Amino acid sequence: MVERLTSVISARSAALDAELAERDDRRDRTVSGLVAAATLIALPPTLLLAFFGVNGTDVDEHRSILDLRAYGTAYALAWLPFVVLVMIGYVLLRRISTRSGSLLPTPDDDAVPVPPPRSPSGSPRP
């Protein structure tokens, strides 16, 4: 009887470990993909800031780089892909966390309750 209970516990433990490993792997792949995409998307803001940092004739020396009337389109084109990527990543992470939910099966109504642990002396705890 004890051997059978041990084998059932071992089987459930192995299934739980496999599910946890799969969830962690899925999360790691998602995060790695987001980091890779964010690295590529970070290039336009870098180029935009480099454009403003250059003392070229295309940048008006009498206007601030924060003047959105003059440079608003450039800022929007540089930051819009990054904001969209962040929103997509947030939605994907929420879907993964919602999908993984509880890894333990829901208990049956007719399941036998587990008694509380005993104290070292062998008598039940109050």
Is 88 contained in some domain? yes
Is residue 81 domain-resident?
Answer: yes
Q: Sign of the CA dihedral 61, 65, 70, 75?
A: positive
| Confidence (pTM) | 0.41
Inside any domain, residue 47: yes
| Residue 118, φ and ψ in degrees, nearest 5 | -90, 155
The answer as to whether 51 is a domain residue is yes
CB atoms inside a 10 Å sphere around CB 65 = 15
CA 56 to chain centre: 42
Q: What is the pLDDT of residue 103?
A: 47
Q: How far is the C-alpha of 83 from the C-alpha of 25, rounded, in Å?
A: 25
Going by C-beta distance under 8 Å and a sequence separation of 6 or more, which residues neighbour residue 49?
none
Range of the domain at 96: 23-100
- The predicted structure's pLDDT at residue 114: 59
- Residue 125: CA count within 13 A, CB half-sphere: 6
Does the residue 108 lie in any domain? no
Q: What is the pLDDT of residue 66?
A: 78
Instruction: Give how many domains the chain has, as a whole number.
Output: 1
| pLDDT tens, residue order, the chain (126 aa) | 788 888 888 888 888 888 888 888 988 988 998 888 777 777 777 877 777 777 667 667 788 777 888 878 777 877 787 788 778 878 888 887 777 655 445 555 555 555 666 666 655 555
Q: Which residue reads 């601030």 in tokens? A: 64
Angstrom distance (rounded) from CA 99 to CA 2: 35
Within a domain: 18 = no
Q: Is residue 46 part of a domain?
A: yes
59 part of a folded domain? yes
